[in-house]
Amino acid sequence: MDTIKVHFLGASGTVTGSKFYLETPELNIMVDCGMFQGLKELRQLNWQSLPLDASKIDFVLLTHGHLDHTGYLPRLVKEGFHGKIIATAPTLAITRIILLDSAKIHEEEAERANNEGYSKHHPAVAFYTIKEAERAIDLFQSQVKDEWIGLSEHIRFKFRYNGHIIGATFIELEIFGKLFVFSGDIGRQNDTLLAPPEYPQWADYLFVESTYGNKLHPEEDVEQKIIDLVNRTIKERGSLIIPSFAVERLQSLMYLLWQLYKKNKIPNIPIFIDSPMGNNVLSVFESFPAWHELPMKEYQAMCDHFNIISSFADTWKTIDDLRPKIVIAGSGMVTGGRVLTYLKQLIDKTATTVLIVGYQAEGTRGRQLLEGAHELKLFGKYEPVNAKIEHLESLSAHADQKELLQWLKEIKNIPEKVFLIHGEPTALDAFKVKIRDVYGWKAHIPKLNETTEWTL
């Protein structure tokens, strides 16, 4: 008897590591292939081989390019995958940048750990190398949105626009007449740079993210908050450090600061953009203007206004620059990247302000700062946190509970199964209750490595 099996290999009971493996009578498909981030026990899962034969996967479909949805691809190829990795063209452009940058960071961290002797592993090895990332990139195949793409006689899929970041989609996957809908990460209704997400109209089996399933984004006066922080930074002759995700958040922050300067709401304070990956992402905005709402004329003027750093030597020049300044640097959850160098040198100073924007997963340094950590481990050593820590929640690229419910409202049928994924336990539980109360649907919260099976 023919069956369809879905294996929940990530983003199940937690936010990161999105991986969903579907076994069907015709094909084996993986939807997203991300890395776990945050808590040590989650990060350690990245080093375990998947409980499947990677060589038997025919296709990987990607919802968008973030690391927690794409970062495991080089390891999947190393484990034997040789099929096609399919996504929209801007998603593949973003994924290429993220994988190469991630590989470079992995190589550098392994080298630094070996040189300075702070790793428990001897020798420390990179999670994957640039060459391994390039092998995954060689398997990329782009497809357009809003068109059904056949994979086999009884299986086809369609990408649908989803906001969140440039190129992001949700996936409608039709298997033997049943519609499996994977939400990916759902964007905001009022995004600075992107159009609102589209909505699914039908779903037999629905897999929906729950990152903010228990929260509403606050009504914040973002402009005034940034104006106040900039003025305080100038008054105290300090540094305003903004850890930022390289995709979307960095560009949104740049646009917001540029608009404030144009309106004479902030002075011409030096602003440094120190994110090699973010700089490359800017070129994706230039290459795919139909996927965002930033006019190219504004884009160019905005880029000309900032000090865009490319070399690590310039990172140190910026740290040594005694003028009041704003630094936007990767990464957004303070898990790696250039921002660690700034924080190691400046987080002990009372004139430093660290502005956290967006979601911070459990176990990340960003989450520790929000929860009042008095010290932070950076490059193997603890540094005292004397800097002021500020938070802007409303700049999140994730839909909140109200927006998630709105994304579901146009589904005309009652799904046979609703799976809540990509959330921490409290968010998942709250969203499960809310879906039942609003729509009368029963939702299930799958556990990691759980398998669900249907008979055709």
Q: What CATH number is given to the structural domain containing 334?
A: 3.40.50.10890
Domain end marker among 392, 414, 441: 392
Q: Based on the fold, state whether residues 175 and 275 are members of the same structural domain.
A: no
Can you say whether residue 341 is alpha, beta or left, with left for phi > 0 and alpha for psi between -120 and 50 degrees?
alpha
Q: What is the mean pLDDT of residues 378-382?
A: 91
How many C-beta neighbours within 10 Å does residue 233 have? 22
Q: What is the pLDDT of residues 284-329, one digit of tens each?
A: 998 999 999 988 888 888 888 999 998 889 999 999 999 999 999 9
Q: Based on the fold, state whether residues 126 and 270 are members of the same structural domain.
A: no
DSSP 200-253: -S--SEEEEE-TBTT-------HHHHHHHHHHHHHHHT-EEEEE--TTTHHHHH
Are 455 and 23 spatial neighbours (Cβ–Cβ below 8 Å)? no
* Closest by Cα among 329, 16, 268, 18 to 8: 18
Q: Based on the fold, state whether residues 161 and 237 are members of the same structural domain.
A: no
Q: What is the mean pLDDT of residues 161-181?
A: 97
CB burial readout 416-442, b (16+ within 10 A) else e:
ebbbbbbbbeebbbbbbebbeeebebe
Q: Based on the fold, state whether residues 265 and 188 are members of the same structural domain.
A: no
Structural domain containing residue 433? 3-215+397-455
Q: Based on the fold, state whether residues 341 and 425 are members of the same structural domain.
A: no
Q: What is the pLDDT of residues 112-168, one digit of tens each?
A: 778 776 666 678 888 999 999 999 999 999 999 999 999 999 999 999 999 999 999
Q: Based on the fold, state whether residues 341 and 420 are members of the same structural domain.
A: no
Q: Based on the fold, state whether residues 265 and 210 are members of the same structural domain.
A: no
- 212/426 Cα distance (integer angstroms): 10
Q: Based on the fold, state whether residues 374 and 426 are members of the same structural domain.
A: no
Mean pLDDT of the chain: 93
Helix (H) or strand (E) holding 392: strand 388-392
When divided into structural domains, the chain yields a total of 2
Q: What is the mean pLDDT of residues 384-408?
A: 94
Domain end marker among 340, 374, 392: 392
Domain containing residue 124: CATH number:
3.60.15.10
Q: Based on the fold, state whether residues 275 and 238 are members of the same structural domain.
A: yes
Q: Based on the fold, state whether residues 262 and 382 are members of the same structural domain.
A: yes
Q: Based on the fold, state whether residues 252 and 201 are members of the same structural domain.
A: no
Q: Based on the fold, state whether residues 89 and 157 are members of the same structural domain.
A: yes
Domain end marker among 392, 407, 431: 392
